[in-house]
């Protein structure tokens, strides 16, 4: 979260960082502005340039620039065994995977132009999380991937709840994700919940923080029942643990 204080004279603020647009929104008294921002799990460690543009009512603009150092993260490695079809899909399964990719591309192409969330985010289940974000994984000794979310040890049938308010933009089965629910929280911020045994919401539905989304399960590419919860901002997958630690009660 980026915060600018004492800029009540600005009528609009935007910016760029790591090739992504920053969309600022004002506090209730219009003196403080905020923007969502984060570093993708695959982003290289290197200096980066943050640019912010303050626009005023007299058609003038004031630019701010700051160098931000991105430090290397140290993630674990893991070896998992899953059904062979999730490592070497057949032609029909490859068609389904391609269709899923098109669906997800459309879902993530448009986000609400204003924040739909309110206050701090909460964990989707009352179950312990694992230290799994960023883990480099090998499936059946062949397929390597990076784990882009947080896993919760949720037994089969655990109620999964919305981490904050927003609009359900996807609620359907996908090949790798299993039964999946995606919530748009606005300004390019989404949370993704995967591997449901049952989905209890529908696309287009508005949900509030704590509303039930469905029941945890073991659908898709899994080794057993659990909940995979991911945070996506403008095509970047962020560490969900960091979002949960943010105190946003005074922001909105």
For the stretch 20-39, pLDDT in tens is 999 998 877 777 899 988 98
Query: Do 186 and 222 reside in the same domain of the chain?
Result: yes
Residues 88 and 181 in one domain: yes
**3-class DSSP assignment, residue 170:** strand
Domain membership of residue 190 as a residue range: 79-245
Mean pLDDT of 31-59: 89
For residues 74, 243, 127 and 133, what is the CA-based torsion angle, rounded to 10 degrees?
-20
Confidence of residue 252 (pLDDT cuts 50, 70, 90): low
Please check whether residue 145 lies inside any domain of the structure.
Answer: yes
Residues 60-89: pLDDT tens digits? Answer: 999 999 999 988 877 777 777 778 777 788
pLDDT the model gives residue 142: 67
Residue 86 has what DSSP assignment? G
State CA 243 to chain mean position distance.
Answer: 9
User: Is the pLDDT score of 213 beyond 90?
Assistant: yes
- Model confidence pTM above 0.85: yes
**For residues 220-229, average pLDDT:** 92
Domain-embedded: residue 250? no
**Number of domains forming the structure of the chain:** 2
What pLDDT, on a 0 to 100 scale, did the predictor assign at position 173?
97
Residue 227 lies in a domain: yes
CA dist., res. 225 & res. 194, Å (int)? 11
Contact assessment for residue 154 and residue 227, using Cβ atoms and an 8 Å cutoff = yes
């Amino acid at each position: 979260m980026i915060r600018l204080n004492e800029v009540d004279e600005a009528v609009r603020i935007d910016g760029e960082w790591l090739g992504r647009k920053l969309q600022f929104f004002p506090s209730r008294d219009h003196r403080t502005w905020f923007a969502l921002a984060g570093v993708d799990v695959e982003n290289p460690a290197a200096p980066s340039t943050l640019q912010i543009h303050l626009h005023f009512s007299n058609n003038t603009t004031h630019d701010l620039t700051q160098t931000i150092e991105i430090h290397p993260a140290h993630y674990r490695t893991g070896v998992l065994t899953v059904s062979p079809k999730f490592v070497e899909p057949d032609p029909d399964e490859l068609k389904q995977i391609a269709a899923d990719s098109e669906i997800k591309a459309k879902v993530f192409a448009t986000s609400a132009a204003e924040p739909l969330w309110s206050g701090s985010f909460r964990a989707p289940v009352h179950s312990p999380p694992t230290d799994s974000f960023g883990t480099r994984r090998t499936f059946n000794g062949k397929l390597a991937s990076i784990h882009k979310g947080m896993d919760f040890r949720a037994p089969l049938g655990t109620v999964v709840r919305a981490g904050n308010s927003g609009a359900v933009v996807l609620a359907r089965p996908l090949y790798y994700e299993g039964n999946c629910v995606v919530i748009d929280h606005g300004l390019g911020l989404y949370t993704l919940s995967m591997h449901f045994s049952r989905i209890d919401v529908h696309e287009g539905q508005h949900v509030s923080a704590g509303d039930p989304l469905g029941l945890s399960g073991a659908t898709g590419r899994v080794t057993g029942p659990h909940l995979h919860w991911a945070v996506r901002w403008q095509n970047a997958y962020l560490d969900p643990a960091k979002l949960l630690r943010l105190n946003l009660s005074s922001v909105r």
